[in-house]
Each structure stands twice: as C-alpha cells, then as structure tokens.
A and B are shown apart, each in its own frame.
Chain A
Amino acid sequence: MLKSLETEFLGKTISNPLVLPAGIMGMAFSGFNISVENGVGIVMSKSLTLVPRKGHEGPVITEVQNGLLNSMGLCNPGINDGLYEIDQFKERSQIPVIVSVFATKTNDFLKLTLKANRSQADFLELNLSCPNVFDEFGIPLAASKDKVYEIVKTVKQNSKLPVIAKLSPNVHDIVSVAKAAESAGVDALCMINTVGPGMAIDTKMVKPILFNTFGGLSGPAIKPLALKLIYETYSAVNVPIIGMGGVTYGIDAVEMLMSGAVLIGVGTAIYYRGIDVFAKINKELNNFLQESDYQQLKDIPKLEKLDG
C-alpha cells in the first residue's frame, strides 16, 4: 500500500521530502525535468553568481572510499541566465524551486536577491559555504557568525522569497552560526555542504588528481558527521532544516528525518544508484512506513532534542 510521503516546508506542500541540492543536475531546466521525472520532490538551481563562471578545469571530481571529492568551482551561467532556466522549468511544472545564489559581499547578495524577487522561484538559498573557491575568495562566509548575521539580515529585509542559509560543516561551531542566521530572521537552514576539503593523489604522476588540488567530500563517508551536526543544530534552533550529506538509501533518509531534518537532499547517491535514486529512496521510505506501522511520513518521530 502506498503511504503519503507528503510534507510541508515553509507553507508549501511538497509531494515527497527529497531535494535536488545545489550543484547537482541543476545547470539547465532540462536537468530539473529529468530529476522530477525520477521522483525528486523539490529542485534547487546551481549556486548562481552575478556574472557567469566557467568553474575549475578538470578533473573536477574523483571517487574516494565511500564518497566523492569534487571541486566544480561554482560554474554557473550567471543569475540572469540561471533564472531564465528556472522560469522555463516553471512554465510546465508545479514543483517548487529553490534558487541558490553565491556571493562574497553583502551588497552582491542583495543584488542577487533583488533579481531572484523577479523570478518564479519559490525559495532563495544563500550559499555561504562553498569549500572549493578558497584561493579566489578565502575562508567561507559561514565561518563567521557576524558575517552570516549581516548577510541574512540584509537579504531578509529585501527578499520576497523565504530565505534559506546553506551552512558549512567546516567550521568550529556550526550551531552558533545557525543561531546567528536564525536571529537575523532566516526561514530555514540547509546543511551540510561538502566536508573538508580533502584531496587524492595520482601516485604514478605524483600529482593531485583534482585540478583544484582540494575538493569537498560527499557521499556515505560524511553521513555520520551530517547527522551529528543536523541533530545539534535542530536541538538549538526552531527553523526547519533541509538535511543532506551521504543519504543513499531510504533508511539514511529516515535517520536524517529523525535527526531533525524536514527535507532531505540527495546528490552523490545518483553516482551510486542512478538518476532514478529519488524514486528508489521514496519506495524505501514507503516500505519503512509500512514496516513501522506509520501512516505517513509526518508520523516519523524526531529524536528528543539535546539539552541546551
């Protein structure tokens, strides 16, 4: 029997909790189309910047044990073309869209916000945490709770869309950053971005495999870390959390829901299980609900919050 995987997110009903995260399949409207056809509940664009970026040269990705290292370098067609792709998708689909944007200055985030206001996107994600452009931009903004507060505050004052902050796991105290975003009025959090960064070496060439030398770690290897950080953050804030990091099977999604997330990002799992991984995970979620005698997704309980 099919159980309801429906869930609510910031006032919108989503057919299932699976999110296409930023940087996965989201370059063109056709990438959204095929992901939706394969069962994703809500899609997110590549992180868009004010001007187009070609990203790093390759290799931009390499497999490591239980995960992938990637360093795309924020390739994207720029905010104007990126929003056009979203609008093209929206012409034929009711599926909610999160537009993700990246900048390094508050004023640039403001400019991106004003452009996003005029699009058909449903939510705005602020990518404060790309680990792969360190050479260019330095330490990610999400490392500074003051910076996060300032950016979220400015964007919230000007955004017509609910605002989501994407947090980095590569900081000393993610909970205080999450609290700073919450006190600045953020509507939701998205966590975690890729971990590290790390590296891999070609031993015959004696060279780093990735062009950018370092790349963010994703995949099953990071799931325990993601669960821990989401749980700690869930215990300390009251805004909804989009959880992601290594979710590959339905049971991983269940763990993440129990840790405090309301929506679940699935990206690297496409590599392991194919583009239909969303449909597969939804089926596994359905099986879990049946086996556990839950009527619907919303019945899956959360862990008791950690004591503050």
Chain B
Amino acid sequence: MDKRITLPITKIITEATDIKTFGFEYDLKAKPGQFIMLTDFGKGEKPFSLADCTKTEFFITIKQIGDFTTRLFQKDVGDLISIRGPYGSSFFISQGNVLLIGGGFATPPLYFLSKELLKIGTKITVINGAKTNQQLIFSDRFEQLELNYMSTTQFGAHGNGTAVDRTKKLLKKEQFDYLYASGPEMMLNALSTILKDDEYEFLLERYMKCAVGICGSCTLDPIGIRLCMEGPVLPKRIVEQLTEFGKYHRDASGMRIKF
C-alpha cells in the first residue's frame, strides 16, 4: 500500500520562469485529481497533483515557492527522485457538456482530466486564468485538444479579468452539466457562490503529513474528512459542509491560518 518507488527524472519542461514540469517514465496508474508524495531525502516530502499520466509516463508541474521547490528546480534529467502514491480521490468523469476552471499553477490537473473526459466524448470548455500572461501555463497543450479553450489574465497589457469573472459571463450564455475547478482557495470560494445551482467538484489543498489517512493533519472542519483520502477532489455536497472552506487552513503544527 505504501507504494514508494525511486526513479530518474526523464523530462524537465520550463513553463514559466518559476514553473517547471517534471516527467517520469513509469506506469503510475493514476487518475485525474490524484496526487503523489515526492521525497527529496534529507530535505523533506511534499504532495503534488498529477499534471498528466499515461501508460508510460507521468508528469507533475511545480511552482518554485520555498526551499524545497528551489532545490527541485536545481535537479537535472537523470537525477533520482523518490515518490509514493498515487493517493486520494479523483475527478468524476462526466458525460455531456462540462466546464473546467483553472487558476495559475493549479491548472495542470485539469489538463489530465480533459484527456480522460475526451476519451468518452465529453464536450469540454476550459477557462484558464492567471495573474499575468507570463504565469499562464499549459495553453499550448490545451489548444492541441478537441475542446473550447479560453484563457484570461488579471493584470498586464492584455488583462481581461479573473477566471471567476470569465466564468460568470460564460454561465449567462451557456449551461453546463458538470463543472470542475482547481485553483487558489479564494478563487474556489468565489466560484462556490456563483455555482449555487450547478454540480461541481473542486480540487482542494491542505498541509499533508502522512498522506495515508492516519495523522489527522488534513482533516477538514467540522466533518473531519481527510483531504489525503476522501480528497483532494471534493464534490459540492462535501464542500458545502466545510466551515473552514475559504476561511482558514492549518499549518504543519496544526495551528489555524486565515486565508
């Protein structure tokens, strides 16, 4: 069950100055929305969502944020990395007409989802939002798929609003059978207020320690579902029960931190 494997990095793709995608040749058998725990021995271990997973390869997209990711960014193709997983829940693969809403470097799991949805002929619209054009990632990949792709940036010369703004506009014109979103929690929180009548799933993030459902670091108040086991993909009926959603999360010590 603790599926730890140690394997070399086979691809490194620079997405933006501070965002890279790492590829590994391995049949991970993961589903869209699931995550792995990545170990840099002697430095630490962190969860990362899968940006793509085929029968031969899997990918994770990482933003350089702290010491851990800075060290990862110094690694080269051929360097060994140890991982365990895949862990957690995955997105419901819906038929019909669906909308995927991504924010910043949290968008890549929706690319993996798009590929799986297309396999059953689902009609897909993607809204990919970022702060700036430079931070907008995966556009070229989405554009290669048979789907309706829209990108939007909040700031800069071509700034035309947030992913939430764009979603509001689109929902006035078009109805969707199912919606999916992955992004910063305040984006998801804003979306939840405009999706009162729609069915959706959100990909949430919390500090995780054991990732196998024992330590209690990622239980969500008040119902106590464990984001590493029952999440990270949560359906609307669960999200609506979370009193901490959009308000606070917990750090490594378990202390509450306001968003």
Q: A and B from one assembly?
A: yes
**A contact residues vs B (CB 8 Å cutoff):** 23-35, 37, 46, 52-55, 57-63, 68, 70, 72, 75-78, 81-82, 85, 202, 204-205, 207-209, 211, 267-268, 270-272, 274-275
Interchain CA distance A209-B4 in the complex, whole Å: 10
When distances are taken between beta carbons in the complex, the residues of chain A under 8 Å from B124 are none
User: Which one of A28, A78, A204 lies within 8 Å of B80 (CB-CB)?
Assistant: A204
| A271 close to B1 (CB less than 8 A) | yes
**15 residue pairs A–B, Cβ–Cβ below 8 Å:** A25-B215, A25-B216, A25-B224, A27-B216, A33-B222, A57-B44, A58-B37, A58-B45, A60-B45, A72-B210, A77-B250, A85-B254, A204-B82, A209-B82, A272-B1
Q: Chain B residues in contact with chain A, CB under 8 A?
A: 1-2, 4, 6, 37, 39, 41-46, 80, 82, 84, 209-210, 212-217, 219-226, 229, 250-256
Cβ of B18 to closest chain A Cβ, rounded Å: 22
Contact residues in B for A24 (Cβ distance below 8 Å): 214-216
- CB distance A34 to B44 under 8 Å? no
Inter-chain contact B6/A75, CB cutoff 8 Å? no
Contacting B219 at CB < 8 Å: which of A28, A57, A58? A28
Flag if B224 contacts A202 (CB, 8 Å).
Answer: no
Contact B222 A30, beta carbon cutoff 8 Å: yes
Known A62-B4, A202-B82, A270-B213; contact A28-B254, beta-carbon cutoff 8 A: yes
Q: From A57, which residue of chain B is reached at the shortest CB distance?
A: B44
The answer to whether A72 and B45 touch across the interface, beta carbons within 8 angstroms, is no
How far apart are the CA atoms of A70 and B45 in the complex, in Å? 14
Interface of B is mostly: loop
Q: B220 → chain A, closest Cβ, in Å? A: 6
- Please tell me if the beta carbons of B2 and A75 are within 8 angstroms of each other in the complex: no
Cross-chain contact A25 with B214 (CB below 8 angstroms): yes
Residue of B nearest to A23 (CB): B215
Measured in the bound complex, the distance between the Cα atoms of B95 and A292 in whole Å is 53
Distance of A23 Cα from B217 Cα, bound (Å): 10
The chain B residue with its CB closest to the CB of A64 is: B2
Chain B residues, Cβ within 8 Å of A274: 213
- Complex alpha-carbon distance, A72 and B255, angstroms: 16
Instruction: Tell me if A275 and B45 are in contact (CB < 8 A).
Output: no
Smallest beta-carbon distance A53→chain B, Å:
6
B214 touches A52 (CB 8 A): no
Bound complex: CA of A82 vs CA of B6, how far in Å?
37
In the bound complex, residues from chain B placing their C-beta under 8 Å from that of A55 are 209, 252-253
Q: List chain A residues, Cβ under 8 A from B219.
A: 25, 27-28, 30-31, 34
Q: How far is the CA of A54 from the CA of B6 in the complex (A)?
A: 27
Q: Which of B6, B225, B253 contacts A205 (CB 8 A)?
A: B6
CB of B41 within 8 A of CB of A27, answer no
Residue of B39, B43, B82, B209 near A72 (CB, 8 A) is: B209
**Which of A32, A33, A81, A270 is the one whose CB lies under 8 Å from B255?**
A81
What's the least CB distance linking B189 to chain A, in Å?
18
Q: How far is the CB of B204 from chain A (nearest CB, A)?
A: 14
Q: Are B44 and A211 in contact (CB under 8 A)?
A: yes
B227 to chain A minimum Cβ distance, whole angstroms, is 11
With A24-B214, A57-B43 known as contacts, the answer to whether A205 contacts B80 (CB < 8 A) is yes
Closest residue of chain B to A203 (Cβ to Cβ) is: B6
A30-B224, A46-B216 given as contacts; is B80 within 8 A of A62 (CB)?
no
Our pick among B215, B223, B251 for the contact of A30 (Cβ within 8 Å) is: B223
Chain A contacts for B223, CB-based, 8 A: 30, 33-34
Tell me if B222 and A29 are in contact (CB < 8 A): yes
Complex formed: what's the CA distance from A29 to B111 in Å? Answer: 36
Task: Give A82 to B256 CA distance when docked, in angstroms.
Answer: 11
Residues of B near A68 (CB, < 8 A) are 2, 214
B216: contacting residue among A28, A52, A54, A209, CB under 8 A: A28
